[in-house]
A and B are shown apart, each in its own frame.
Chain A
């Protein structure tokens, strides 16, 4: 299942070492290093497709019939992946909603870290790893920094690990616009309040998306929850590696079934028609109240920008890449 880290049960046995860092100069250095690590995380996320996704896309490319518009699209996708990596420039000009998931030990200073994330985002924008992509919803103003109400989106989770892990997803607007939420039962689709009903609405969402979400797409799905938590949990499924296996057998089976069925729809890359419409479907579930049964679907484009780092607990340098 997903690398979901539960934020319960804080053990107070290991006193946080952070308090040692009181010498101003040293503190300044680690802050600077944190910003650098975060900036590098943004750069790689924006410019390099993670290995697990690249592997599936390249397989899909060989499966399209040669000399069709579908294979033409897949070839351009491959060239684009190579070029973005080589030039260290954004895979897609829509560098999306910038969503951070921070997993930290107890005693961590969230507000301070937030400020460092913001600094890294501003720098990444200046360097062109991110487009000036954040607009005030009331005035239409674009401050050009990617900062503003709700931006960047930052989520914290407390863990029992010593090190800080930061995951980042850049979620473009095109695929976000075709993401969906259904309320079961859905009479027009004949979708009831069971897994068969879930299957139907997910496939319907893929049909409705056609090529508008920059397919071949990848789905994160949440069965249940209230409207808000359900949508968020669906999006969090995008953090799972494409080759992992769901620990819940029913969902594992449904994930495969949905991918297979959607690839029969013939929508294909970019909606040009073709064999690969979907490269993955990852599902989770959340309890619901008896009166509600929501199914949320987060559609991710082929330019699946997701990366993560483990930071060295002392130096705040990047110790490990997660994808």
Chain B
């Protein structure tokens, strides 16, 4: 089990390799379809994402009526491949060093990871409670107009469990598994 602690950097993530099980401690920013489209269209990010990690997640959030404070009650990853058209550009233009999601991403993102120093972390899909438990505080809410699941949530996490499935050296576990399962598929069809 490896650890990745805040502040993050391209150098630190370059040390990670496909198959590494990693516990992340520090800041995460959620961002999914609406946010990626928004950034891809050239709009300015409401937060500086340089050296930050983006989490493909639309959390279940509750606001305390008295204090106005937000808590995240469920926060698993959403399918990442939908951001494939946008992700590489967001990595390039905003300097993010990590993407957390599920299901993996394609060649464009893999190339951007290599070129700019970024890693794709796979969180366990559907594990919304285990992952929400690792969120220690909700520090900000941006682009709320996209709807709560689609907004950017600034979160502080501790020992957030992920697996590196695409590293900054051009390796992708998703490519490997797809290729090996394709061979087996041929033999059973």
Asked if A322 lies at the interface with its beta carbon under 8 angstroms from chain B, I say no
Within 8 A of B (CB), among A283-307: 301-303
Contact B60–A271 (Cβ < 8 Å): no
| Segment of A16-24, A88-96, A105-113 in the binding face | A88-96
Query: Closest approach, in angstroms, between the C-beta of B160 and any C-beta of chain A?
Result: 11
Count A-B contacts at CB 8 Å: 162
Asked if B31 lies at the interface with its beta carbon under 8 angstroms from chain A, I say no
Contact A273–B173 (Cβ < 8 Å): yes
- In angstroms, Cα B79 to Cα A172, docked, is 11
Contact A77–B132 (Cβ < 8 Å): no
- In angstroms, Cα B188 to Cα A90, docked, is 38
Dominant SS among interface residues on chain A: loop
Contact A131–B177 (Cβ < 8 Å): no
Asked if B95 lies at the interface with its beta carbon under 8 angstroms from chain A, I say no
Contact A95–B181 (Cβ < 8 Å): no
Residues of A contacting B165 in the complex (Cβ-Cβ under 8 angstroms) = 272
Dominant SS among interface residues on chain B: mixed
Contact B149–A210 (Cβ < 8 Å): no
Q: Give the residue of B126, B130, B149, B173 whose beta carbon is less than 8 angstroms from that of A83.
A: B130
Residue of A nearest to B124 (CB): A76
Given contacts A69-B163, A72-B163, A90-B74, contact A128 B185 (CB under 8 A): no
Within 8 A of B (CB), among A198-214: 200, 203-204, 207, 210-212, 214
Query: Closest approach, in angstroms, between the C-beta of A127 and any C-beta of chain B?
Result: 9
A residues with CB within 8 A of B: 69, 72-73, 76-77, 79-80, 83-84, 87, 89-95, 128, 131-133, 135, 142, 144, 172-174, 177, 189-190, 200, 203-204, 207, 210-212, 214, 261, 264-268, 270-273, 301-303
B residues with CB within 8 A of A: 19, 21, 57-60, 62, 73-76, 78-79, 81, 102-104, 122, 124-130, 132-133, 147-150, 161, 163, 165, 173-174, 176-178, 180-182, 184-185, 188-189
